[in-house]
Structures are given as C-alpha cells and as structure tokens.
C-alpha cells in the first residue's frame, strides 16, 4: 500500500503466486524472483540479474513472463524475471 507521503508499506502475508500471467494487469504491484544453481550464473560478471528479486509496478505485459517490465521504486524499468533455462527457477508474486 502506498501512503500519501510516498512510503510503501508491504504486508508479507498479502503476496500470492501468479499461476498464469493473464492474472496480471498494468499497474499491479508484483515481485519477480529469479534464482539459479548454475555456476555460470553465480560467478560470472554480467549475470547479476539471474539471482535477484525485483519488486515494482507492472508497466508492460507481453506474451510470457519474460516480457513483463516493472517500474521500480527508483523510477527505473526492469524485467520482472530473467531466462535461465533449466539452471534455475522463476516466480512471480502479486500483492493483493
């Protein structure tokens, strides 16, 4: 929930996993997580986004979860999740 002061208050028990991206709408507050077990993604420069969590407002939807773009609290836009193939996992949660 966003206060008039601009401060975000997030209650941990209000996050729900998204089973189908058709559940998402522009403006929804979501959290995208990407994690890997592959050494390539854990140790090499340039793959920092492959072990990260991004939380923000949906500003673009596409055909699959890799096309979802979030606007982060600092105003930057970033993909919700990264493609890591069979070397890891992705999850998207919506705040209700």
Q: How far is residue 80's CA from residue 70's CA, in Å, rounded to a whole number?
A: 6
Residue whose structure tokens are 């997030």? 10
pLDDT-based confidence at residue 5 (cuts at 50, 70, 90): low
pLDDT-based confidence at residue 85 (cuts at 50, 70, 90): confident
Model pTM above 0.85: no
- Residue ranges and CATH numbers for the domains of the chain are 13-95 (2.30.30)
Token digits of residue 15: 């996050």
């Amino acid at each position: 929930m966003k206060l008039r002061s601009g401060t975000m208050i997030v209650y941990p028990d209000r996050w729900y996993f998204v089973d189908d991206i058709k559940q998402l709408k522009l403006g929804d507050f979501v959290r995208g997580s990407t994690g890997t077990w592959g050494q390539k993604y854990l140790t090499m420069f340039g793959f920092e986004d492959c072990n990260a969590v991004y939380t923000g407002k949906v500003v673009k939807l596409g055909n699959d979860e890799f096309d979802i773009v979030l606007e982060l609290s600092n105003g930057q836009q970033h993909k919700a999740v990264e493609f890591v193939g069979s070397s890891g996992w992705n999850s998207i949660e919506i705040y209700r």
